[in-house]
Amino acid sequence: MEQYAISIYTVVAWLATVALLLFACHLRRPTTRLNLPPGPKPWPIIGNFNLIGSLPHHSIHDLAQKYGQIMHLKFGSKSVVVGSSVEMAKVILKTMDVNFVCRPKTAAGKYTTYNYSDMTWSPYGPYWRQARKMFNIELFSVKRLDSYEYIRVEETKSLLKELHKSCGGPIVLKQLLSNVSFNVICRIVVGRRYLDESEARKLGLTVYEFKKMLDELFLLSGVLNIGDWIPWIGFMDLQGYVKRMKALSKKFDRFLEHVLNEHEARRKAEGGSFVPNDMVDLLLQIADDPTLDVKIERNGVKGFTQDLLAGGTETSAISVEWAIAELIKHPEIFEKATEELDRVIGQDRWVEEKDMPNLPYIKAILKESLRLHPVAPLLVPRRARADCKVAGYDIPEDTQILVSVWTIGRDPKLWDKPLEFCPERFIGSEIDLKGNNFELLAFGTGRRMCPGYSLGLKIMESSLANLLHGFNWKLPGEMTKEEVSMEELFGLTTCLKTPLVVVATPKLALEMYSL
């Protein structure tokens, strides 16, 4: 964090001092009698911020063990209700989905997504419903995703070839995984690898800098920004987050303007013979449709494009990195995966997408990794559209709603030995990753479920299967598996705080790597 930024703990300490001075007055204020869910007693002004550490999903998990499957917290002046069980997830995300379908208004949504013009943060209403229909029918239809399979195949081969060149030396795994994810998504969304070196020079933006922008976007989208919770001090930007959001927005806008200008130039040059090649072409074509219920402005096209690039890149890379880290720590599981791959695929070809139904253990490894290490451990927050009741408790309008899938994944009533990495628990299980089972909600469910989950799954499964099929994995030097840090870095997505460094060695015939 930059030097001007103040930590949340410093802010909380400052506000706590003010809270003590106002405490007596606060106690005398008349309060509306509401039957709120159980939870810790909040301090004036700061609420329960004093109970939230640097990993909020851990703090919330610990509190849920004390207060139960539905819990009420106060963050500043705002109410937060957390569901931490399958039953509560089902009520929030299915039974009462329409009342909890809104997103909260946050500085991140305002400053990094063109004032809530994207898919993730836009409020529930005609604009969002139109966008959801557009994503599901036009951008992520089965037919369209199948048409992009050749891109996924080419980029996976490029990853394997690049990895083979690096064999024997230490590799920062997430860098390679981000490369393949970004290249796949970039070609599908904008038509080509925009950040090859020639394009990077033209934009004055290196590949490394762009990936740092993505990291910053996910971090700032998930931080506890004091101004969101205590609006009357928001103008002070005590943590420096808003300043960073504005700076990041300018960088993304420069890149996205370049993308749109190039696509518009091709449309103009080709005239009546123009045929959409990628998702940006489709977005621009849809935006020009005069029959739309709600006009999609240029900022909307840029917001949707940013969603597609960011969401598809980071989540896939993070998920596969977590899986490989667990396999490094559990070599016996890696051996079982190798046995399945050798038996089903053999030694003379790579894994194809059509092979995945025949690789239940590989799929189980990914599910188990997502159970223990969900990319969004609290999902993306929701907001109550109106007063309602859940489990007999009052939920006031504008209450922020969180679902702790991190806690659900550790519930001993659902999982035997829940803290152990055990893919076998999914063998023969009907639990899937498509939002049908509330025990495992890696992509959410309901109206706000991630619209690109099917593409993300294809990238994750194919990448993981081929990395395990083609290479042996070990740690560099004398490092032991016990020294692999599983400490997390929290944001809108949660990744390894210390990137996994590994050494890969080929385990197939040499000619297999001449892709």
**507 in any annotated domain:** yes
Provide the residue-wise pLDDT of the chain in tens; the chain has 515 residues.
333 345 555 555 555 555 554 554 444 444 568 999 999 999 999 999 999 999 999 999 999 999 999 999 999 999 999 999 999 999 999 999 999 999 999 999 999 999 999 999 999 999 999 999 999 999 999 999 999 999 999 999 999 998 999 888 999 999 889 888 888 998 999 988 876 666 666 666 777 788 889 889 988 998 889 999 999 999 999 999 999 999 999 999 999 999 999 999 999 999 888 899 999 999 999 999 999 999 999 999 999 999 998 887 778 999 999 999 999 999 999 999 999 999 999 999 999 999 999 999 999 999 999 999 999 999 999 999 999 999 999 999 999 999 999 999 999 999 999 999 999 999 999 999 999 999 999 999 999 999 999 999 999 999 999 999 999 999 999 999 999 999 999 988 899 999 999 999 999 999 998 87
Count of structural domains within the chain: 1
Residues forming the annotated binding site for heme? 450
Identity of residue 6: I
Residues forming the annotated binding site? 450
**61 in any annotated domain:** yes
The pLDDT tens digits of the residues spanning 9-51 come to 555 555 555 555 455 444 444 456 899 999 999 999 999 999 9
**213 in any annotated domain:** yes
Q: Output the six-digit token pair for 320.
A: 């596969």
Could you list the residue range(s) of the whole structural domain that residue 196 is in?
A: 8-513
Token look-up 């994750």 returns: 460
Q: What is the CA radius of gyration of the chain?
A: 24
CATH number at residue 43: 1.10.630.10
| pLDDT at residue 8, as a whole number | 56
Q: Measured in Å, how far apart are the chain's first and last C-alpha atoms?
A: 42
Phi, psi of 401 (to 5 degrees): -115, 125
| pLDDT at residue 182, as a whole number | 86
Which residues are CB-contacts of 305 (< 8 A; sequence separation ≥ 6)?
189, 190, 256, 259, 260, 279, 280, 283
**DSSP state for residue 111 in the 8-state scheme:** H
**1 in any annotated domain:** no
Q: Output the six-digit token pair for 163.
A: 């990895």
**25 in any annotated domain:** yes
For residue 53, the tally of other CB atoms under 10 A from its CB is 14
d(CA 212, CA 137): 32
Phi, psi of 4 (to 5 degrees): -75, -20
**478 in any annotated domain:** yes
**DSSP state for residue 319 in the 8-state scheme:** H
**3 in any annotated domain:** no
The pLDDT tens digits of the residues spanning 227-275 come to 999 999 999 999 999 999 999 999 999 999 999 999 999 999 998 888 9
Identity of residue 7: S
**Secondary structure (3-state) at 223:** coil
